[in-house]
Structure 1
Amino acid sequence: MTVSVDDELRALAPQVLGTLIRRYGRFDACEDAVQEALLAAALQWPAEGVPANPRGWLITVAVRRLTDQFRSDDARRRREVAVFSLESPDVLVSENDDTLTLFFLCCHPSLSEASQLALTLRAVGGLTTAEIAAAFFVPEATMAQRISRAKQKIKQAGAQFAMPPPEEQAARLQVVLQVLYLMFNEGYTTSSGTALQRSDLTAEAIRLTREVHRLLPTDGEVAGLLALMLLTDARRPARALPNGTLVPLSDQDRTLWARPMLDEGVALITATLPKGPPGPYQLQAAIAAVHDEAPRASETDWLQIVGLYQLLARVAPNPMVTLNHAVALSMVKGPEAALHMIAPLDDDARMAKHHRLASVRAHLLERAGRREEAREWYALAARRTTSLPEQRYLEGKAAALRSP
């Protein structure tokens, strides 16, 4: 399958699924039918050419698959089959785009974060179960069960294919953005395995966030998240050496950064920030922009970054914000002030055994000249991470601090 066909199918998948669910209900049956239609297109279009109306083609094939599925069901489905058989799929083709409604359905609050992520990738992203399983290093059967349970839970919750009431939309949108944020982060720094990053997963997160931004162009946090992804992913070409060795931000060759992506991200967050009180994604994007605009690491405006982290800590306090804030603070007030800032995280159950806390403490201790303590914390961080590239990097840092 060519890249152009693949891109078109991914873009059309949520539109086709939204059309079927709106007309027929039954998320699980409609989603299975759309997946079969996508597979048929993947096999036929490269050889026969993309049809003049690709969306209508997919809807027609999906409706036929849905009809076949109901024909194999028990007698109580017979009346539905009769309706399907008489109805032309052409009547379903309209200009309505139900993608945002589909996002809200996949991110239903009754589902866990893992299930929301899997279902979004499947239903909105158009990825196969095998592709999603590979992205998260789990067996295909495990991922299939997760997706199946998610569909059943949505059904049991009585979720309707409709936009949430206005009073719920803001909260539900935050779930959608959180799922996209998690998807991007998992692709940018994989949580386990031999690869540092999964460019296919980050690309999919950016594509889907662009889609939400297209549907909600005036929402500042949607724009902020898209800008954050662009500004972060722009550094990807410089994040690792050809042999896979991780390169920290301070040591990266900035001439390798993707300039068009960086420029787009800076322009987006620059246009968004003045429009209202900034949310957490906008603030993170602003921090990324300050980093990316510095020609050299030594020219980074750390004072501005510390100020932005102070705002972020008030808007959305969490342990990871504290860790990153501490690193920035160390560049302004020294490592001892930063060590004092992260000390309370030892009592935080979410962070006490996280490799990031150990690695940040090691970095700060190294900057403070406390080499032996730093070596021990780097070694501990290496044992705690499940990412092989990170493990090798941390082991290398520990080894470099051994006494001669």
Structure 2
Amino acid sequence: MTEIEDAITAAFHTEWGRLVAALIGGLGDWDLAEECAQEAFTLAWRTWPRDGVPERPGAWLLTAARRRALDRLRRDRVGAEKLRALALLESRGEPVDDNTIPDDRLRLIFTCCHPALAFEAQVALALRTLTGLTTAEIARAFGVPEPTMAKRLVRAKQKIRDAGIPYRVPPAHLLPERTRAVLGVIYLLFNEGYVASAGPRLQRADLAAEAQRLAALVVELMPDDPEAGGLNALVLLQQSRACTRSDGDGALIPLEEQDRTRWNRELIAAGMAELRRTARRERLGPYQLQAMIVACHVTAETPEQTDWAAIVSLYDALYAQVPSPTVALNRAIATAMRSGPEVGLKLLDELTESGPDQGHLLAATRADLLRRLGRNDAAAREYRIALDLATNDAERAYLTRRLSEVARSER
């Protein structure tokens, strides 16, 4: 990429959320705000290579988007009220600063997670509006088809518009009612960074790093919230293995094959300290339980020393709180590691009969258990199914390698 292209890409990552939020605050119209923000970036692609990168890219983009919005409002004759609101935005130049939440991105996420919306709508809307994730990526995070997620986002925007829900930073005493959704946004943002739903790389390091930063900020803002601490611990412990999760060619390296001497001990220590602090609460929540599961992995010096019995018990507790297909699949994997592949395969059969399709993960898991049992012909069939469904190139490279191994064994 050229220097100009790098600058525009960086501006998108840093300014998109603030830009859209500023326009929504002035317009009260989510669709128009996003369209005008996109048109501002389109204009940047046309003019910055000619004129150079502005000294303040965010202010330049806001001005360009605001002018586009003014043109649209005047042309469409939607009335003087929005024009006056946008004129107020123009007079102050940039969004008004608010010290309730000291970080721009986190402030916007709290703003977006309005309790008048359903939980999933809050999280999905914040992810789509403020993080740059596509509708398809958000749909995969929620395990629903893309058209379904698109309809949910449209309905959420309509409700905001029809009910006149204001887009503004909540006061400090109202932050707790939004915290659960804010944590959900950060969690799903991290998941997309940890394993990209599609594309050439296993991980999207920028998203994972941003989620790590935001999780730490929520703990600073709300130190007594045990689930905020649980999420922070979970992210720290997961991030400790980041450099060992793919090989030089970018292919996925499974947990049992990773070089544990390269795991980040500072992140492990920080995550364990955070987990101990939050685990003093009477009731463990889903993020704390997930952090405890990861702790079992990162504190085992070898794969053989992993306490799979404890992990299964933790998954039992997690499933009681979050009975999702993803948790059920991970619980089946842990049970297979504790009690043998045959037991795991039976659980996978039950999951297939009772739950929705898990895409390539279910087929890949079944293939791995069949491979461990030496049933290579059946394993090869499942690896081929997983390859047909996988959209991440790093995961596909790993599945291809495993398929080649069991295919050779068939001969």
Judging changes above 3 Å, is the alpha-carbon distance between structure 1 residues 355 and 267 closer, same or farther for their aligned structure 2 residues? same
The equivalent position to 2:80 in structure 1, one of 77, 82, 94, is 77
The alpha-carbon deviation at position 368 of structure 1 amounts to 3.2
Establish whether residue 99 from structure 1 lines up as the match of residue 103 from structure 2.
no
> Which residue does the alignment assign to 2:229?
223
Q: Distance in 1 between matches of 2:120 and 2:71?
A: 30
For the residue of structure 1 that corresponds to 2:270, the secondary structure is helix
> Which residue does the alignment assign to 1:185?
191
> Which residue does the alignment assign to 2:283?
277
Higher mean C-alpha deviation, range 284-293 or range 314-323: 314-323
Q: Which amino acid aligns with 1:89?
A: R
Q: Distance in 1 between matches of 2:367 and 2:389?
A: 13
Q: Which amino acid aligns with 1:189?
A: V
Establish whether residue 200 from structure 1 lines up as the match of residue 203 from structure 2.
no
Q: Distance in 1 between matches of 2:338 and 2:88?
A: 71
The equivalent position to 1:320 in structure 2, one of 309, 323, 326, is 326
For the residue of structure 1 that corresponds to 2:379, the secondary structure is helix
Higher mean C-alpha deviation, range 341-350 or range 94-103: 94-103
Higher mean C-alpha deviation, range 100-109 or range 24-33: 24-33
The alpha-carbon deviation at position 341 of structure 1 amounts to 2.6
Judging changes above 3 Å, is the alpha-carbon distance between structure 1 residues 157 and 176 closer, same or farther for their aligned structure 2 residues? farther
Q: Distance in 2 between matches of 1:264 and 1:63?
A: 43
Judging changes above 3 Å, is the alpha-carbon distance between structure 1 residues 9 and 397 closer, same or farther for their aligned structure 2 residues? closer
The superposition leaves residues 117-170 of structure 1 with CA deviations (integer Å, 9 ceiling, x where unpaired) of 4x4346434x5xxx8589889xxxx9xx9999464553135433368999x987
The superposition leaves residues 238-296 of structure 1 with CA deviations (integer Å, 9 ceiling, x where unpaired) of 11111122210000012332333333222222211112311111101111112112222
- Structure 2 gap ranges (5+): 102-106, 140-146
Q: Distance in 1 between matches of 2:247 and 2:108?
A: 39
Q: Which amino acid aligns with 1:77?
A: A
Higher mean C-alpha deviation, range 3-12 or range 189-198: 3-12
Contact persistence 1:13–1:38 (CA under 8 A)? no
Contact persistence 1:228–1:282 (CA under 8 A)? yes
The alpha-carbon deviation at position 93 of structure 1 amounts to 4.2
> Which residue does the alignment assign to 2:341?
335
The equivalent position to 1:373 in structure 2, one of 346, 369, 378, is 378
> Which residue does the alignment assign to 1:350?
356
Q: Which amino acid aligns with 2:208?
A: T
> Which residue does the alignment assign to 1:252?
258
> Which residue does the alignment assign to 1:261?
267
The alpha-carbon deviation at position 40 of structure 1 amounts to 11
The alpha-carbon deviation at position 358 of structure 1 amounts to 2.0
Contact persistence 2:121–2:153 (CA under 8 A)? no
For the residue of structure 1 that corresponds to 2:280, the secondary structure is helix
Judging changes above 3 Å, is the alpha-carbon distance between structure 1 residues 101 and 73 closer, same or farther for their aligned structure 2 residues? farther
Higher mean C-alpha deviation, range 387-396 or range 230-239: 387-396
For the residue of structure 1 that corresponds to 2:380, the secondary structure is helix
Contact persistence 2:286–2:321 (CA under 8 A)? yes
For the residue of structure 2 that corresponds to 1:274, the secondary structure is coil
The alpha-carbon deviation at position 78 of structure 1 amounts to 7.1
Judging changes above 3 Å, is the alpha-carbon distance between structure 1 residues 383 and 14 closer, same or farther for their aligned structure 2 residues? closer
Judging changes above 3 Å, is the alpha-carbon distance between structure 1 residues 208 and 40 closer, same or farther for their aligned structure 2 residues? farther
Identical amino acids, percent of aligned pairs: 35
The equivalent position to 2:401 in structure 1, one of 357, 372, 396, is 396
The alpha-carbon deviation at position 219 of structure 1 amounts to 1.8
Q: Distance in 2 between matches of 1:48 and 1:83?
A: 23
Contact persistence 2:127–2:138 (CA under 8 A)? no
The superposition leaves residues 87-132 of structure 1 with CA deviations (integer Å, 9 ceiling, x where unpaired) of 963997454445354131499439758xx54x4346434x5xxx85
For the residue of structure 1 that corresponds to 2:410, the secondary structure is coil
Q: Which amino acid aligns with 1:395?
A: T
Contact persistence 2:62–2:94 (CA under 8 A)? no
Contact persistence 1:303–1:332 (CA under 8 A)? yes
For the residue of structure 2 that corresponds to 1:275, the secondary structure is coil
The alpha-carbon deviation at position 302 of structure 1 amounts to 2.0
Paired residues in the alignment total: 387
The alpha-carbon deviation at position 314 of structure 1 amounts to 1.6
Contact persistence 1:71–1:81 (CA under 8 A)? no
The alpha-carbon deviation at position 334 of structure 1 amounts to 2.2
Q: Distance in 2 between matches of 1:387 and 1:403?
A: 27
Q: Distance in 1 between matches of 2:381 and 2:94?
A: 67
Contact persistence 1:104–1:163 (CA under 8 A)? no
Judging changes above 3 Å, is the alpha-carbon distance between structure 1 residues 12 and 148 closer, same or farther for their aligned structure 2 residues? same
Higher mean C-alpha deviation, range 212-221 or range 2-11: 2-11
The equivalent position to 2:130 in structure 1, one of 124, 127, 130, is 124
Higher mean C-alpha deviation, range 276-285 or range 73-82: 73-82
1:82-161 superposed matches below 5 A: 84=87, 89=92, 93-96=96-99, 97=101, 98-99=107-108, 101-105=110-114, 108-109=117-118, 116-117=123-124, 119-121=125-127, 123-125=129-131, 127=132, 149=154, 151-152=157-158, 154-161=160-167
Q: Distance in 1 between matches of 2:117 and 2:369?
A: 41
Q: Distance in 1 between matches of 2:376 and 2:78?
A: 75
For the residue of structure 2 that corresponds to 1:305, the secondary structure is helix
Q: Which amino acid aligns with 2:118?
A: P
Contact persistence 1:100–1:215 (CA under 8 A)? no
Contact persistence 2:198–2:391 (CA under 8 A)? yes
- Structure 1 gap ranges (5+): none
